[in-house]
């Protein structure tokens, strides 16, 4: 892990005590916002600063979005800049790409990440490729937001984690912010980016609260974050799994196992330097993610370590904890069992450290 990344983690430790958070809030002008409020604030800041920025998506206007993220933005900016689209992801994605090609800055909210399957042609064959196919003569400054993940009882067609699909495609940037701070900063960075950026927002995080500075700031795309230092094992996690991994690390510390937790934040570009540096310190690696285990982001992380000089530092096999090989069930107990939870992370890390894996 670079010194710069370590300094960022010192400034924003997720396990800081309440007193520290209050002191830091006063020093930085931050205040506590929910994940959804942080996104809405970023949208408002961008729209106020640049008239080219506009929002589009199903029910994002008067209704305020399926998860109430856009809120009252239609009252503040009007229906021409907060546009309700028809129930046609393919058509709306085409409109968004066309608008981006003309110099506008569209932000397209998919009602559920699962519905991206309906727009694969536009996302994968158009948005991702047009800059390459036209020799850099055009860019597609498009942001796509995807409510993602399980835990809401929405069943198989509304609960998937599909980010690895898109991280496979050159030309797309794929981001998974895990905190309100990162949700705002990554979104503002994405809006300023000249290429298409896909932001996967876990639905269970929308109500999570955390310190968020006032005004404009960005979180660089492609930089992982050190959440918790450790010496015995590296846990690389994404999205909500960051919080479950931190909870697991806290429990493991009571057993004398010090786990280092890395929030990947960005799948493409991938911060390979942060991963290799951490593994060289801890000599063990566990990848935790909600998407189906097979061909998920954990496979790429594992391969990156196996192909790097960090491989010689490993004292145990690399372990992947991903989603089960099945659609997400509706039954709440089965839904929990289909993706990693804190107890399963604790058990897996404990076995790895003690040589039982």
Write the pLDDT tens digit of every residue in 297-349: 999 999 999 999 999 999 999 999 999 999 999 999 999 999 999 999 999 99
Give CA angle at 193 (2, 48), nearest 5°. 115
* Domain spans in the chain, listed from the N-terminal domain onward: 3-212, 225-353
User: Has residue 12 got a pLDDT over 60?
Assistant: no
Q: According to the model, what pLDDT value does residue 2 have?
A: 35
- Residue 202 is given by DSSP the state E
Helices (H), ranges, 193-341: 240-253, 272-282, 297-306, 332-337
CATH number of 3-212: 3.40.50.300, 3.50.50.60, 3.40.50.970, 3.40.50.280? Answer: 3.40.50.970
Name every residue whose Cβ is closer than 8 Å to that of residue 109 and which is 6 or more positions away in sequence: 55, 56, 57, 58, 60, 65, 69, 70, 144, 145
Q: According to the model, what pLDDT value does residue 28 have?
A: 59
Average pLDDT over residues 76-94: 96
C-alpha 191/C-alpha 102 separation (Å) is 15
Q: According to the model, what pLDDT value does residue 25 have?
A: 52
C-alpha 223/C-alpha 226 separation (Å) is 10
C-alpha 59/C-alpha 167 separation (Å) is 27
pLDDT in tens, 97-108: 999 999 999 999
Average pLDDT over residues 246-259: 98
Catalytic residue numbers, as ranges: 89, 158
Average pLDDT over residues 198-209: 98
Domains 3-212 and 225-353 share a fold: yes
Classified by CATH at the fold level, domain 225-353 comes out as: Rossmann fold (3.40.50)
Q: According to the model, what pLDDT value does residue 20 have?
A: 40
Name every residue whose Cβ is closer than 8 Å to that of residue 21 and which is 6 or more positions away in sequence: 211
Helix (H, G, I), strand (E, B) or coil at 119: helix
Name every residue whose Cβ is closer than 8 Å to that of residue 275 and which is 6 or more positions away in sequence: 224, 234, 236, 262, 285, 301, 304, 305, 310
What would the DSSP string read from start to end of 152-166? Answer: SS--TTS----HHHH
pLDDT in tens, 146-182: 999 999 999 999 999 999 999 999 999 999 999 999 9
């Amino acid at each position: 892990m670079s010194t710069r990344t370590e300094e960022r983690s010192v400034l924003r430790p997720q396990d800081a005590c309440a007193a520290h958070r209050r002191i830091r809030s006063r020093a930085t002008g931050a205040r506590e916002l929910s994940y959804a409020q942080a996104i809405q604030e970023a949208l408002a800041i961008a729209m106020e600063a640049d008239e080219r920025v506009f929002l589009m998506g199903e029910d994002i206007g008067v209704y305020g979005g399926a998860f109430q993220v856009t809120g009252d933005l239609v009252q503040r900016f009007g229906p021409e800049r907060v546009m309700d689209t028809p129930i046609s992801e393919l058509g709306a994605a085409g409109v968004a790409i066309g608008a981006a090609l003309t110099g506008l800055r569209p932000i397209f909210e998919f009602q559920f990440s699962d519905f991206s399957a309906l727009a694969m042609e536009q996302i994968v064959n158009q948005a991702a490729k047009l800059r390459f196919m036209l020799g850099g003569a055009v860019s597609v400054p498009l942001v796509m937001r995807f409510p993602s993940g399980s835990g809401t009882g929405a069943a198989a067609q509304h609960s998937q984690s599909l980010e690895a699909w898109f991280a496979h495609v050159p030309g797309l940037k794929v981001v998974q912010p895990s905190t309100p701070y990162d949700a705002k900063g990554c979104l503002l960075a994405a809006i300023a980016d000249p290429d298409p950026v896909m932001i996967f927002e876990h639905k269970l995080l929308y109500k999570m609260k955390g310190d968020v500075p006032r005004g404009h700031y960005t979180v660089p795309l492609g930089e992982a974050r050190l959440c918790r230092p450790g010496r015995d094992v590296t846990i690389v996690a994404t999205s909500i799994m960051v919080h479950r991994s931190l909870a697991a690390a806290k429990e493991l510390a009571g057993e004398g196992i010090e786990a280092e937790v890395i929030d990947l934040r960005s799948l493409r570009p991938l911060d390979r330097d942060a991963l290799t540096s951490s593994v060289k310190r801890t000599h063990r690696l566990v990848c935790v993610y909600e998407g189906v285990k097979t061909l998920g982001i954990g496979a790429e992380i594992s391969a990156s370590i196996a192909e790097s000089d960090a491989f010689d530092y490993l004292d145990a096999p690399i372990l992947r904890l991903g989603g089960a090989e099945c659609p997400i069930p509706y039954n709440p107990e089965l839904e929990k069992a289909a993706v990693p939870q804190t107890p399963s992370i604790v058990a897996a890390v404990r076995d790895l450290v003690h040589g039982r894996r």
